[in-house]
Amino acid sequence: MLGWDINSLNQTNQSGNRRISSSLRQRAWIEISASAIRRNVKALRHILAPQTQLMAVVKADAYGHGAVSVAEIALEAGAKGLAVATLQEGIQLREAGINAPILVLGACHTPGEFEAIAHWQLQPTLCNPQQASLCAETVTALGQSLSVHLNLDTGMSRLGTPWHQAVEFVQQVKNSRSLQIASIYSHFATADDRDRTIVDLQHHRFQDAIAQLQAHNIPIPRLHIANSAATIMDSAFHYDWVRVGLALYGLYPAPHLQSLLPLQPAMQVKARITQVKVIPPGTGISYGYKYMSDREMQIAVVGIGYADGIPRNLSNQLQVLLRGQIIQQIGAITMDQLMLDVSHLPHVQPGEVVTLIGQDGAISISADHWADSLGTISWEILCGFKHRLPRIMSD
């Protein structure tokens, strides 16, 4: 098993919901809303044609949300397949008893990897003729057959065979008795941009590759090219499957897509205040004295830091929520703790809960806010939360 075992961290109450033990919950944790994931799946399925199926992308521990739990919820809500990045991620899901089709998006390059793929009944991505040959030889030697997905590079310049070589590549795999082509797919590089020039070019290349296969009387398997952004943007990209990651977790790949689909963020990051103190004017706070008090201040120490995934570069920029109000973080964020200016709040006590990402009252802070401050993307923020933060699944 990879990472932490949520069952070893959680207890179960009478209604069947997992809850963290009080001793672990004292410091910091991440709450995941199962109902939000269900609603997001429902919203996504609503915009798909009946023949288009939803593939839930649960790589990188479901973008930090907990792969096994999210996979189970997404499948129950109507997803028909899963996608992971690595062999180990696929094995984790199989060991948890998940039997749905699992596409491994990353490339495998050794006989041992393909043997494990076959043993665990995963579905690998084949990116080039050499890899396809090794996969076929390995599976044939095992006396088994294997469903595979073929990746065409239409302009991402990452994994995949160039789209204009699709006929030769597909024909090679089709001629192997031990391999069955489950799908042909590609990946957009700029689907979250307003300018559709590159997206339309890639789509045209994908269509051209399919037309060439048809011209050579090669049967066309299932097709997919849409990520979250393309799924939301245009039904012309839906084909037989859509591969949805970020939108599954309630975030939008770009602001201009927000009006097209209602989504609800599934993750909240919370921590408890561990100490409250009053400091005089001219007092340095935290490492390097990057913040000096200009007045008598009441500060609260919170038990969460960069070892949990709170970016240190947010020091003196981070805002959190407490009692339904926006609170400013001050001083350098440290490995395990950060400090807040709570001078304007009366009677702040250790044990009070601070929301770093999520909603408190009428105010919310999202991973997008952090990403904008850091000049990065929300994907990186979600994937950055460490596993020493327990994931707590709520209904």
The residues that are catalytic are: 59, 287
What gap in Å lies between CA 229 and CA 244, rounded to an integer?
8
Q: What residue has token string 């009366």?
A: 346
What gap in Å lies between CA 257 and CA 27, rounded to an integer?
36
What gap in Å lies between CA 40 and CA 234, rounded to an integer?
17
For residue 290 the two structure tokens come to: 């990057």
Which residues, in sequence order, are bridge partners of residue 327?
320
Give 42's contacts (C-beta < 8 A, 6+ positions apart).
77, 78
* Whole-number CA gyration radius for the chain: 24
CA proximity to 104, closest of 119, 89, 120: 89
Give first-to-last CA distance, the chain, whole Å: 25
Q: Report how far apart, in Å, the C-alpha atoms of 47 and of each of 89, 199, 262 are.
A: 29, 20, 11
Give 4's contacts (C-beta < 8 A, 6+ positions apart).
387, 388, 390
What gap in Å lies between CA 182 and CA 125, rounded to an integer?
10
How far is C-alpha 259 from the chain's CA centre?
21
CB atoms inside a 10 Å sphere around CB 285: 19
